[in-house]
Chain A
């Protein structure tokens, strides 16, 4: 499999590409807020991962989750769902 999923793109059959086009399209630039996880408060429950519509929340180790800002849209769902209020949404310009 090519590292560029668009390498053999077939537009004439309806934009058929290699898998993982979503990985090369870094869509995090649309964000106005970003989630910041308080490592001390995070219990590693994975709720942020379950609810994130972009699968941007990722397990870092047994106890801690992190956010892949290349894909995070800043919607704040993870912060809403986090049972320990470990996630704070902060303005991108601050």
Chain B
């Protein structure tokens, strides 16, 4: 367990990631759960439907015929004042995309667990961050877990923050690597949850006795303001999240407060080469850092826990002493470069210290990332000395030259 003190004890059980997230959601007992099964998320909704069917929680489990309708059902429920949860992955998230942008614009705090997976085509069911990055611009908050415990805890934190800023949240955890792993995890008790998460108190609900139009047709003289308000709410979400992680530590005893809860670091304070990465790959990276440190190499890790709102200020701070930055990422914006790398560069545009940065696109669609891969990347990144050298700024280190023709 890399990120939080989760001492195996009475409350700790070893279980599969999907079951653990489902049990965490069950402790929240949302009013409405609506989701559609999709690999590798399926275990989350299967387990939740079982828990609901057994009568262990009071949630209404609404069966639907597609992810579009799961998201739409959550929108209706949330608009009526319910606490609504869904879970999805990959193509399912794409099918939800249209209603999810609507949910953000309607300011509905729906929380979704997203088991990250590549998008077709070619068809792949394995993990990367292509799916959640495709939803980057819709006004949803996005969080990335490194391990199962964080996947559970981020769902709780998501509800806490979403309901204060009135925006939906995607609580991301890597498909298979975290959904199908068996890890010790602490499932929150209902008593802890009720202390941390008060009943939802929405400013407006659909109410036949006091009719209103929610998400009205906004004419050109309204729409800009609607988007501005979502932007402002995401800015506010930073402080709300910071307060939430502090309260979370008080209630649950797990400390995510480093860098205002926005980013997590490992041996980064005196690091000359800093790796930036999201999610489960950071477990492997920590091991590599320990090995390289034993050989006297000053390597460290910076891991954004929050991706939207973007932790620009905290990244500028955490990278202020870096001699080189290596961004390891499981996505790219086709036609330009990795979205994560672009965003970090953009954040550093306003920084006094602008370290040379190299981007490595790897681990796409479940390709294994080994310690050796990461060591080679660190060695390569250490050759970057000039921030103006764009020619070699991005590479695909795992690319198999033998199966590409280099064109059409």
Contact = CB atoms under 8 A, between A and B. Distances in A.
Interface string B196-233: 00000001100000011111111100100110010000
A22 B219 CA distance: 12
B213 A14 contact: no
Contact of B166 (A5, A13, A18, A22): A13
A14 B217 contact: no
B106 interface: yes
Contact of A14 (B166, B211, B219): B166
Given A21-B217, A22-B217, A11 B212 contact: no
A24 B331 CA distance: 45
B117 interface: no
25 contacts: A5-B216, A9-B216, A10-B204, A11-B218, A11-B222, A13-B203, A14-B108, A14-B166, A14-B204, A14-B214, A14-B226, A15-B222, A15-B226, A16-B213, A16-B216, A17-B212, A17-B213, A17-B216, A19-B212, A19-B213, A20-B213, A21-B216, A22-B213, A22-B217, A25-B217
Nearest to B228: A11
Interface string B103-121: 0011110000000000000
Nearest to B225: A11
Contacts of A21: 213, 216-217
A9 B222 contact: yes
B229 A11 contact: yes
Interface string B83-95: 0000000000000
A74 B108 CA distance: 34
Interface residues of A, number: 17
A3 interface: no
A14 B214 CA distance: 7
B356 to A, nearest CB: 42
A51 interface: no
A2 interface: no
Interface in B151-185: 166
B402 to A, nearest CB: 52
A14 B215 contact: yes
B222 A16 contact: no
Contacts of B211: 19
A6 interface: yes
Contacts of A12: 107, 229
Contacts of B107: 12-14
B203 A6 contact: no
A21 B218 CA distance: 9
Nearest to B224: A11
B351 to A, nearest CB: 32
A46 to B, nearest CB: 26
A14 B225 contact: no
Residue of A10, A20, A22 with highest tally of chain B CB at under 10 A: A10
Contacts of A19: 211-213
B151 to A, nearest CB: 28
Nearest to B227: A11
A14 B105 contact: yes
A18 B106 contact: no
A15 B216 contact: yes
Nearest to A10: B204
Contact of B204 (A5, A13, A20, A22): A13
Contacts of B226: 11, 14-15
Interface in B327-358: none
A6 B221 CA distance: 11
Contacts of B225: 11
A10 B218 CA distance: 11
Contact of B106 (A14, A20, A22): A14
Contacts of B213: 5, 15-22
Contacts of A13: 107, 166, 203-204
A11 B108 CA distance: 13
A2 to B, nearest CB: 12
A50 to B, nearest CB: 23
B215 to A, nearest CB: 5
A19 B207 CA distance: 11
